[in-house]
Every structure is written in C-alpha cells, then in structure tokens.
Amino acid sequence: MTIFSRRRFLVAASAPLALAACGNGIGSPGSSRIDARVDEATNFMYDTLPETQTLASKASGILMMPLITEAGLGIGGGFGRGALRVDNVTVDYYSSTNASIGLQIGAQQYAHALFFMTPAALNNFRASPGWVAGADLEYAASSNARSLTTDTTSLLTPVVAVVFGQAGLIAGATIEGQKYNRIIP
C-alpha cells in the first residue's frame, strides 16, 4: 500500500497542467511567428490589391490568415493560423479548419482576410466559441491579378472576404464552411 504525501499529490496533480501549458504556447515564439506572417501577408495584399486599403480603413477589425493549406483526395481538409487585428493591433489569434468530401484531388495554399465592416459583426465573431464562415460573408472579387471590386454593397456587408496568393493544384479557393477558433499560439 502506497501512501501519498500532500506534496507528492500536488506534484502529481499539477503535472498534466504543466504539460498542457507547454502545448498552449506559453513561452513559445508562436505568436511572434504568426504576427510576422500576418505582416507579410498584409503588405502583399495591399501591394497586390490596393483597393483592400479602402476596406481596411473602414473595417472594425481584420482577421488575416496568411497561409491556409488544403489537400484532398475524395476527402479533404485544410488548416491555417492567423491573427485578428483591431486598429492594426493584434487582439487574438485564431486557427481555421475545414473539411470537404467529393470529387477532388490535389493541394493548394492561399491567404485570406476577413474584414469585419461593422462593430456588431466583429463582436459576434469574437464572442462566438467557433465561428463558421457562411451566409453573412461576401467576397470582394478580383477581376484580375491587380484589381479588386469594392463597391458600396461590399462596404455595407457585415463581413467581406478577400482570398489572395493562391498556389496549387485544386481549382478555386473559397472559405465558406471554414471554422475559426481562438487559440493560444
């Protein structure tokens, strides 16, 4: 029969919490890596699609996902991490995941930004335990590599999505159905 002292019990009970903290990024460079990628993606977006600066100036907040990687062979999925910025300051970090099934084969990578055009849309996103891109999302469509449509309707939509920097072998990149969850990088 083994008798535990209080000290041994506390050590044994706190060990899983310490291991969990390691996985949550406490003391890791994860946030600085995400912020650097977000900065690069934002600069690339502004250089490639200058009209996004108009969206940014009117947005209550911007979620920048600098790299989403998707792959599929019948069943597919995707993942990425990014940052939510309000007044150009990172306030939260998010992961994005998606799953799909159907006729598909290949892989692709892309970046996207969600422009929250109203305070209510931003608050809804931040308060949600897991926000899924869906019906209240409008795409600001790029008609060519250096032009973006940002009409009045886009500026009045609660959430505007801009997908850019696509590379890979799956045709098209949309973010409908992607789920966003707050993370600690």
Which pLDDT tens digit goes with each residue over 37-78?
A: 999 999 999 999 999 999 999 999 999 999 999 888 888 889
Give residue 153's pLDDT: 45
Evaluate whether 60 touches 117 at the Cβ level (below 8 Å). Answer: yes
Give residue 142's pLDDT: 53
Tokens of residue 3, six digits: 């008798």
Neighbouring residues of 87: CB distance < 8 A, sequence distance ≥ 6: none
Give residue 18's pLDDT: 38
Residue with token string 């890596």 = 33
- Residue, of 36 and 13, whose pLDDT is higher: 36
pLDDT tens-digit series, residues 72-98: 888 888 999 999 999 999 999 999 998
Provide the strand spans (E) within the chain.
61-86, 89-116, 131-132, 137-139, 142-144, 147-148, 159-168, 179-183
Beta bridge mates, 142: 148
pLDDT of 3 over the 60 cut = no
Q: Is the dihedral of CA 74, 112, 55, 143 positive or negative?
A: negative
Nearest-CA neighbor of 122 among 84, 151, 150?
84
User: What share of the chain has pLDDT > 70, as a percent?
Assistant: 68
Neighbouring residues of 154: CB distance < 8 A, sequence distance ≥ 6: 55, 138, 140, 160
Beta bridge mates, 69: 79, 109
User: What share of the chain has pLDDT > 90, as a percent?
Assistant: 46
Give residue 84's pLDDT: 98
Neighbouring residues of 22: CB distance < 8 A, sequence distance ≥ 6: none
